[in-house]
Amino acid sequence: MTMETLERMLTEHPFFKGLNKRCLQLLVGCASNVRFNAGEVIFREGEEAGLFFLIRHGKVVVETFAPNRGPIVIQTLRDGDLLGWSWLIEPFRWRFEARAVELTRAIALDGTCLRGKCEEDHELGYELMKRVAHVIEDRLQATRLQLLDVYDSVRS
């Protein structure tokens, strides 16, 4: 796959919408194209979080395991979503497991490579942090609603 194709994929992904060309070119060096078959584990809880993924097509579940309950799905991610932010936050270990539930194509970004580039280029770092913060905010809001148990109301 050419660098031009990868750059186009990054440009088209919602996560990098509006990012300038210079920053995109810096990112391309850390990116690769990946695919996961249905049922394939993408990462496991406790493993080193070296990569993160921008889902292009497909469906991925984030899950954990509880004794007596088995695997529990916490969230479903699909086209246009970002998978994983543990690469950005110490100790760089995955907190949950991720598994493709259907054929999934994604762009993998090398977290170590990206952190290095962000340290060197603060414009890139700030752009990336803003985007990750937005994703974290969305997920936090969704988690709050799940905690609110919004469907638990008397209504007929």
21, 35, 109, 154 from 85: Cα distances, Å: 23, 19, 11, 38
Q: Computed over its alpha carbons, how large is the radius of gyration of the chain?
A: 17
The contact pattern for other proteins, residues 94-133, with x = CB under 8 A and - = no contact, is: -----x-x--------------------------------
Q: Which of 45, 76, 116, 123 binds other proteins (CB under 8 A)?
A: 76
Q: Which is nearer to other proteins, 81 or 127 (CB)?
A: 81
- 11 near other proteins (CB under 8 A): no
- 68 near other proteins (CB under 8 A): no
- Count CB neighbours of 38 within 10 A: 12
Q: Is 75 helix (H, G, I), strand (E, B) or coil?
A: strand
- 154 near other proteins (CB under 8 A): yes
